[in-house]
Amino acid sequence: MPRYRFPEPPARLITPRALVMDRRSVMAGLGAAGLMAGLPGSGRADTLAAEPWPGSATDEITSHEVATGYNNFFEFGTAKDDPARHAHTLRTDPWRITVSGHANAPGEIGIEDILSGFDLEERIYRLRCVEAWSKVIPWIGFPLRDLLARFDPTSDAKYVEFETLYDPAQMPNQTGDDIDWPYREGLRMDEAMHPLTLLAVGMYGEVMPNQNGAPIRLVVPWKYGFKSIKSIVGIRLVSERPVSSWEARAPREYGFYANVNPQVRHPRWHQATERRLHDGGRIATQMFNGYEEQVAHLYDGMDLTENF
Residue ranges binding Mo ion (CB under 5 A): 72, 131, 225-226
Amino acid, res. 137:
I
Which range, of 102-110, 187-195, 229-237, 296-304, touches ligand MTE by CB under 6 A? 229-237
**Contact criterion met (CB below 8 Å) for 87 and 173:** no
Among 12-20, 35-43, 223-231, 271-279, the segment contacting ligand MTE (CB under 6 A): 223-231
Binding partner selected for residue 230 from Mo ion, ligand MTE, none, CB under the kind-specific 5 to 8 Å limit: ligand MTE
CB of 173 to ligand MTE, least distance (A): 9
Among 225, 234, 242, 290, binds ligand MTE (CB under 6 A): 225
193 vs 151: CA distance, rounded Å: 13
User: Which residue intervals of the chain are DSSP H helices?
Assistant: 20-31, 45-48, 64-69, 82-86, 111-117, 144-151, 189-192, 245-249, 292-295
92 is a site residue for ligand MTE (CB under 6 A): no
Contacts of residue 162, defined as CB under 8 A and 6 or more positions apart, other chains included, come to 184, 185, 186, 187, 218, 229, 232, 234, 235, 236
Closer to Mo ion by Cβ: residue 81 or 108: 81
The Cα-based distances of 253 to 250, 282, 287, 307 in angstroms read: 5, 22, 18, 11
Question: How many residues make contact with ligand MTE (CB under 6 A)?
Answer: 17
CA dihedral in degrees (47, 38, 93, 243; nearest 10)?
A: -40
User: Would you say the C-alpha torsion 83, 85, 91, 93 has a positive or negative sign?
Assistant: positive
Please identify which residue in 15, 62, 92, 228 interacts with ligand MTE, judged by CB under 6 A.
228
Q: Contact with ligand MTE (CB under 6 A): which of 174, 212, 259, 261?
A: 212
Through-space distance between the first and last CA atoms of the chain, rounded to whole angstroms:
32
Examine residue 206 and tell whether it contacts ligand MTE (CB under 6 A). Answer: no
Instruction: Name which of 189 and 220 has its Cβ closer to ligand MTE.
Output: 220
CB of 209 to Mo ion, least distance (A): 17
Binding stretches for ligand MTE (CB under 6 A): 71-75, 129, 131, 135, 164, 183, 212, 225-226, 228-231
